[in-house]
Chain A
Amino acid sequence: MASAWCWSCLSRLRPTPQAVLPPSSAIPRGTSAFHSSAIQYAPPLKKKSNSMTQLKYRQGQTLRRKKKKTVEKARPPAPGERKAMRKRIVLSNPNALEVEGMQEISAENIVDARLRGSVLGLPVPMLDQLRAVQAFKPKQGWSIFRRPGAVVRRDTVEMGRLFEKISGEGDAPEKGKVVKKVVTGMKGSGKTVHLLQAMSMAFLKKWVVVTVPEARELVSGDTAYVPVEGSKPTQYIQPGATSALLMRTVEANREVLSSLKVSQKHEIAGLKPASSLEDLAKLGFQDPAVAWPVFKALWTELTATAAAPGMEKDFQPRPPMLVAVDGLAHWMQNSAYRDLDFNLIHAHDLIFVKHFLSLLRNGQAELKNGGMLLYATSTSNSPGVYALEVGLDQMAARQAGTSPTSPEYPSAEAYSNADPRVLDLFKPIEGKEPQMELQNLGGLTRDETRGYLEYFARSGLLREPINEQWVGEKWSMSGGGIIGELEKLGRHVRSAAIPTPTA
């Protein structure tokens, strides 16, 4: 009961006139409505229903939150759909403008130094071949232009000259040579596109193209592996991967392979005497169990210089070969496969990998008809392999003229536990065999940058006045013409119109 005394002024309160009072149901008579309030008129306390504070026996004292309701999701995509989207390659964009006067790459213009800085289109019939060897990668920017093309840079012209020399007519001195290159460079410097340009040139010159587009796939433990009996240390065949390699090779080189006939003796069931190399390779991808013997047979055929006795009838000289591997570092460490004792298998013990790596050491002896080996490192998907770094440094030092005996020659640090098998691979080669070269892709020159950015402008992507100063700015911003960075700058579409100067 509230007191009738006002505690603030200690005066006795007079009864309030009836008219001023609120309805009697709310406040009973005889009490003040404003000086102080009565507890008994307060609404009754609600019973605490919140279980957050009321603990039951043996219940946790940690903060308990209500579980979020699971939101109904749309049906997930069908199996394989996500991967298909991820791996999708779009080579054309109908919204982009067609670049007038754009030249196509051809057997004649690959050595033309005047074309430096211009973007050469890839001929449409060749696109299927390039797709077959998986030359295009999903994250490259092919889909922003009307048609696929690649910029001609200094390295491209040099490579074109090499192709010209190796497949030279008559008694050219360089004919039948093998060029072995390890392609490196920083992220976005165009290593994979360099391989693509090499493949396109090889197709133009009617070479046989053999590629390993993702070196990682062979060591990531995603394809079957079978030990070779009697091998020591145990080596492993990868039937599925070999079968896929044969498929790629046949799909891309059908024209060349179907024109060549089998000229050696092979112990492969189902092989007819006068069948073409295409038929030979097909045996392998129909039955993965014989894929590796078939690949070896195909390799012997392609590297043959003369027919076996008694089979000279249809023998034609074999073309040079281009071997391109992308993501070399994955082959320089243990694979994800396990041997019988549950030890990791080194990548060099996989016969497939070993075959391609041994070409770096004895490519000239292997590829008797000449050719080119391009083994590119990757910076976007690459395990850090210390021994490989040392090996590449050593190659660079040798190329710069440092003697392997001099103190400046790089070597693996003590206790770094560098993989000796990898270091051995990059040692200098003795004998007649040519050394492997290190090709470091840098940035474009300013002139090439200008040509490249003009291509963006002519495709309708870039709305900027392209002048010397602007190009210089972009060249600097891209770290000295790193082509991947230039692409980012070029494709950045400005939606706002260029402000016109006011009069």
Chain B
Amino acid sequence: MQIIIRRNFVAGGFLPRIADKRPLNRVAIDQSTVYPVKMVFILGVNFPERNLLKASNTYTHIGEPQHDPKSLESFFGIGNHTSSRLLARFNIHPTCRVGELANKQVLDMTAVLSDMKIENDLRREVLNDIKRLKETGTYRGRRHALGLPVRGQRTRTQIKTPVKLNRMERRL
């Protein structure tokens, strides 16, 4: 497992991050890099100003590459449900761009996000849960280890995802 250490400017500490395949809209913080667009820090991650915090349905084009990535939902553990509630909590409209946020909103958002169990904490928790299932020798743990569906799905067809994901060294 490759781990990139990025400096967490907001919290002022080091935050180990698992490298994922989505670095396009999330730029590793590096003092030497010159950014072509202005960036906004949210929880130690640098987002381009033009990014949408959370697009409404009208702004997502099915089948097209998404030009306006949803910044909040790029955190592991934040999906549609959580991001909508976060926005409502700070009175931010759904089509707001990262650059339109007031400084206070950015800081408040970061404070709330840092209290939530997201990103590596959440990854670790999920992996620990799976590990526990395997170690106690449960049926579910076995299915995880064998690369088979865990929740009673049929195995005759359509098990691409478990074949891909469920393995001894599970990754997230």
B-binding residues in A (CB < 8 A): 58, 60-62, 79, 221-227, 236, 336-342
A222 to B158, Cβ gap below 8 A?
no
- Assuming the contacts A338-B84, A338-B88, A340-B91, asked whether A224 and B67 have C-beta atoms less than 8 A apart, the reply is no
Could you tell me the distance in whole angstroms from the C-beta of A62 to the nearest C-beta in chain B? 6
Could you tell me the distance in whole angstroms from the C-beta of B164 to the nearest C-beta in chain A? 13
Interface residue SS majority, chain A: loop
B56 interface residue, CB < 8 Å from A?
yes
- Assuming the contacts A338-B84, A340-B88, A342-B88, asked whether A224 and B93 have C-beta atoms less than 8 A apart, the reply is yes
A-binding residues in B (CB < 8 A): 56, 67, 84-85, 87-89, 91-96, 100, 155-159, 163
A58 to B155, Cβ gap below 8 A?
yes
Contact residues in A for B92 (Cβ distance below 8 Å) = 224
- Give Cα A222 to B159, complex, Å: 41
- Assuming the contacts A60-B157, A61-B157, A79-B67, asked whether A221 and B89 have C-beta atoms less than 8 A apart, the reply is no
Could you tell me the distance in whole angstroms from the C-beta of A399 to the nearest C-beta in chain B? 38
Give B155's nearest chain A residue, CB to CB.
A58
B94 to A221, Cβ gap below 8 A?
yes
Give B95's nearest chain A residue, CB to CB.
A222
- Assuming the contacts A61-B157, A338-B84, asked whether A222 and B93 have C-beta atoms less than 8 A apart, the reply is yes
A223 to B91, Cβ gap below 8 A?
no
Contact residues in B for A223 (Cβ distance below 8 Å) = 93
- Give Cα A336 to B163, complex, Å: 41
- Give Cα A478 to B161, complex, Å: 58
- Assuming the contacts A224-B96, A342-B85, asked whether A61 and B156 have C-beta atoms less than 8 A apart, the reply is yes
- Give Cα A338 to B93, complex, Å: 8
- Assuming the contacts A79-B67, A338-B84, A342-B88, asked whether A221 and B157 have C-beta atoms less than 8 A apart, the reply is no
Contact residues in A for B159 (Cβ distance below 8 Å) = 58
- Give Cα A339 to B85, complex, Å: 10
- Give Cα A221 to B84, complex, Å: 12
Give A223's nearest chain B residue, CB to CB.
B93
A221 to B56, Cβ gap below 8 A?
yes
B89 to A340, Cβ gap below 8 A?
yes
A60 to B89, Cβ gap below 8 A?
no
Give A238's nearest chain B residue, CB to CB.
B93
B156 to A336, Cβ gap below 8 A?
no
28 A–B contact pairs at CB < 8 A? A58-B155, A58-B159, A58-B163, A60-B157, A60-B158, A61-B157, A62-B157, A79-B67, A221-B56, A222-B56, A222-B93, A222-B95, A223-B93, A224-B96, A224-B100, A226-B91, A227-B91, A236-B91, A336-B56, A336-B94, A337-B93, A338-B84, A338-B88, A339-B88, A340-B89, A340-B91, A342-B85, A342-B88
Contact residues in A for B155 (Cβ distance below 8 Å) = 58
A338 to B157, Cβ gap below 8 A?
no
Give B157's nearest chain A residue, CB to CB.
A60
Could you tell me the distance in whole angstroms from the C-beta of A77 to the nearest C-beta in chain B? 11
- Give Cα A236 to B89, complex, Å: 14
- Assuming the contacts A58-B155, A61-B156, A62-B157, asked whether A221 and B93 have C-beta atoms less than 8 A apart, the reply is yes
Contact residues in B for A336 (Cβ distance below 8 Å) = 56, 94
Closest 7 CB pairs of A and B: A338-B88, A60-B157, A342-B88, A221-B93, A222-B95, A221-B94, A342-B85
Contact residues in A for B89 (Cβ distance below 8 Å) = 340
Contact residues in A for B93 (Cβ distance below 8 Å) = 221-225, 337
Contact residues in A for B85 (Cβ distance below 8 Å) = 342
Give A79's nearest chain B residue, CB to CB.
B67
A221 to B95, Cβ gap below 8 A?
yes
Contact residues in B for A338 (Cβ distance below 8 Å) = 84, 87-88
- Give Cα A79 to B94, complex, Å: 19
Give A344's nearest chain B residue, CB to CB.
B88
Q: A338-B84, A342-B84, A342-B88 are in contact. List 17 more A-B contacts (CB 8 A).
A: A60-B157, A61-B156, A61-B157, A79-B67, A221-B56, A221-B94, A222-B56, A224-B93, A224-B96, A225-B93, A227-B91, A337-B93, A338-B88, A340-B88, A340-B89, A340-B91, A342-B85
- Give Cα A223 to B92, complex, Å: 9
Could you tell me the distance in whole angstroms from the C-beta of B93 to the nearest C-beta in chain A? 5
Could you tell me the distance in whole angstroms from the C-beta of B56 to the nearest C-beta in chain A? 7
Could you tell me the distance in whole angstroms from the C-beta of A229 to the nearest C-beta in chain B? 12
Contact residues in A for B96 (Cβ distance below 8 Å) = 224
- Give Cα A283 to B93, complex, Å: 24
- Give Cα A225 to B90, complex, Å: 10
